[in-house]
Structure 1
Amino acid sequence: MLKFNMKTLVVAAAFFIAGSGQSFAQDNLVRALQNNRSDSSKFGFKFTEVINLQNTSVKNQGSSGTCWSYSGNSFLESEMIRNGREPVEISQLFTARNVYIEKGKNYVRLHGGLSLGEGGQLHDVINMYRKYGAVPRDVYTGLNYGTEGNKLAEMSAMTDAILAAVVKNPNGKLTPNWISAYTNTIDTYLGKVPETFNYKGKSYTPKSFAKEVIGLNADDYIELSSFKDHPYYSKFTLLIPDNWSFDQVYNVSMTDITAIIDHALKNGYTVGWATDVSEKGFSWKNGVAYVPEKAYEKMTEEEKATMFNGPKPELAITEDLRQQAFDDYSTTDDHGMHIVGLAKDQNGKEYYIVKNSWGVSNDYNGYLYVTKAFVQFKTTAFMLHKGGLPKDIAKKLGL
Structure 2
Amino acid sequence: MKRTLILLCALAVTAVSAQEKKGKVYKFEDVKTVGVTSVKDQSRSGTCWSFSGLAFLESELLRAGKDTVDLSEMWVVRHTYLDKAVKYVRMHGKANFGGGGATHDVMNVIREHGIVPEEVYTGLQYGTAKHQHKELDAVLEAYMSAVLRSHNDPMTSTWQKGFNALLDTYLGPVPEKFTYKGVEYTPESFAASLGLNMDDYVSFTSFTHHPFYTQFAVEVPDNWAWGMSYNVPLEEFEALFDAAIDNGYSIFWAADVSEPGFKWNQGFAVVPDATVESLEGTEQARWVKMTPAQREAAVLNFDHIRKEKKITQQMRQEAYDSWETTDDHGMQIVGTAVDTLGNKYYKVKNSWGTTQLYGGYFYASAPYVAYKTMNLVVNKNAVPKELRRKLGIK
State the TM-score bracket (shorter-chain normalisation): 0.7 to 0.9
Partner of 1:199: 180
Larger RCO: Structure 1 or Structure 2 (Cα < 8 Å, ≥ 6 residues apart)? 2
Look up the match of 1:3. none
Is 1:78 paired with 2:59?
yes
1:44 partner SS: coil
2:126 alignment partner, SS class: coil
The answer as to whether partners of 2:74 and 2:121 remain within 8 angstroms in 1 is yes
After superposition, the Cα gap between the structure-2 partners of 1:170 and 1:52, relative to the gap in structure 1 and judged at 3 Å, is closer
Tell me whether 1:388 sits opposite 2:388 in the alignment. no
**Equivalent residue number for residue 169 of structure 1:** 150
Query: 4+ residue runs of structure 1 moved beyond 4 angstroms?
Result: 295-302
Query: 2 CA distance for matches of 1:357 and 1:350?
Result: 23
Name the SS of the counterpart of 2:159 in structure 1.
helix
Q: In 2 relative to 1, CA 348–298 (structure 1 residues): closer, same or farther, beyond 3 Å?
A: farther
Native 8 Å contact 2:24 2:341 kept in 1: no
Mapped partners of 2:318, 2:294: distance in 1 = 22
Q: Deviations over 1:66-105 (max 9, x none)?
A: 0000000000000000111102110000000000000000
Once residues 28 and 2 of structure 2 are traced to their aligned partners in structure 1, the CA distance between those partners, rounded to angstroms, is 34
* Counterpart mapping for 1:9-48 below 5 A: 44-48=25-29
Mapped partners of 2:217, 2:247: distance in 1: 29
* Paired position in structure 2 for 1:306: 301
Call closer, same or farther: CA 1:26–1:322 in 2, change over 3 Å: closer
**How far, CA to CA, are the matches of 1:299 and 1:57 in structure 2?**
40
Residues 1:242 and 2:222 are matched in the alignment: yes
TM-score, with length taken from structure 2 = 0.88
Residue of structure 1 equivalent to 2:325: 331
Deviation at 1:26, TM superposition (A): 11
Alignment deviations for residues 277-335 of structure 1 (CA, whole Å, 9 cap, x no partner)? 0000101111100101028999945633522x232101111111110110011111100
Q: Is the 8 A contact 1:354 1:367 kept in 2?
A: yes
Contact 1:255/1:376 (<8 A) preserved: no
- 2: CA distance, partners of 1:360 / 1:231: 41
1:263 aligns with 2:258: no
**Share of identical aligned residues, percent?**
44
For residues 342 and 153 of structure 2, what CA distance do their matches in structure 1 show? 66
Q: Which runs of 5+ in 2 are unaligned?
A: 7-22, 277-291
Residue 280 of structure 1, aligned match among 260, 284, 297: 260
8 Å contact kept, 2:260–2:300 = no
Q: Is the Cα contact below 8 Å between 2:37 and 2:55 reproduced in 1? A: yes
- C-alpha contact 1:69 1:125 (8 A) present in aligned 2: yes
How many residue pairs are counted as aligned between the two chains? 361
Q: 1:110 aligns with which of 66, 76, 91?
A: 91
Give the letter aligned to residue 199 of structure 2.
D
Tell me the amino acid that sits aligned with residue 377 of structure 2.
M
Cα RMSD for the two superposed structures: 2.2
Task: Work out which of the two has the higher radius of gyration on C-alpha atoms and give 1 or 2.
Answer: 2
Q: For the residues of structure 2 that align with 1:369 and 1:299, how far apart are their CA atoms?
A: 27
| 2:203 paired with 1:223 | yes
Please, which moves more after superposition, 272-281 or 255-264? 255-264
Q: Contact 1:273–1:383 (CA<8 Å) still a contact in 2?
A: yes
8 Å contact kept, 1:56–1:87: yes
CA distance in 2, matches of 1:66, 1:82: 25
Which letter does structure 2 place at the counterpart of 1:364? Y
* Code of the aligned partner of 1:363: L
- 1:176, CA displacement in angstroms? 1.2
Instruction: Give 1:352-367 correspondences, 5 Å limit.
Output: 352-367=346-361
Letter in 2 for 1:258: E
Give TM-score scaled by structure 1 length.
0.87
Which of the residues 97, 100, 107 maps onto 2:81? 100
- Alignment CA distance shift 1:45-1:304 (3 Å): same
Match of 1:253 in 2: 233
Counterparts of 1:127 and 1:169, CA distance in 2 = 30
C-alpha contact (below 8 Å) 1:343/1:350 kept by paired residues: yes
Q: Given the alignment of the two structures, is residue 54 of structure 1 paired with residue 49 of structure 2, yes or no?
A: no
Partner of residue 7, structure 1: none
Counting only pairs closer than 5 Å after superposition, residues 84-163 of structure 1 correspond to structure 2 as: 84-163=65-144
**2: CA distance between counterparts of 1:126 and 1:54?**
20
How far is 1:183 from its partner?
1.2
Name the CA shift for 1:290/1:361 in 2 (closer, same or farther; >3 Å). Answer: same
Distance 1:75 1:268 in 2: 12
Q: Which residue of 1 aligns with 2:11?
A: none
Of 193, 199, 209, 2:190 maps to 209
Deviation at 1:171, TM superposition (A): 5.2
- Could you say if the C-alpha distance between residues 277 and 295 of structure 1 is closer, same or farther in structure 2, counting changes exceeding 3 Å? farther
SS of equivalent residue, structure 1 residue 169: helix
User: What residue in structure 1 maps to residue 282 of structure 2?
Assistant: none
Q: 1:318-358 CA distances to partner (integer Å, 9 max, x unpaired)?
A: 11111011001111110000000000112111100000000
Cα pair 2:2 2:259 within 8 Å, conserved: no
1:26, 1:95 → 2: CA distance? 32
Q: Deviations over 1:190-214 (max 9, x none)?
A: 00011111101010011101111x2
Q: Is the 8 A contact 1:195 1:205 kept in 2?
A: yes
CA distance in 2, matches of 1:287, 1:115: 32
Deviation at 1:186?
1.1
Q: Measure the CA separation in 1 of the matches of 2:314 and 2:233.
A: 11
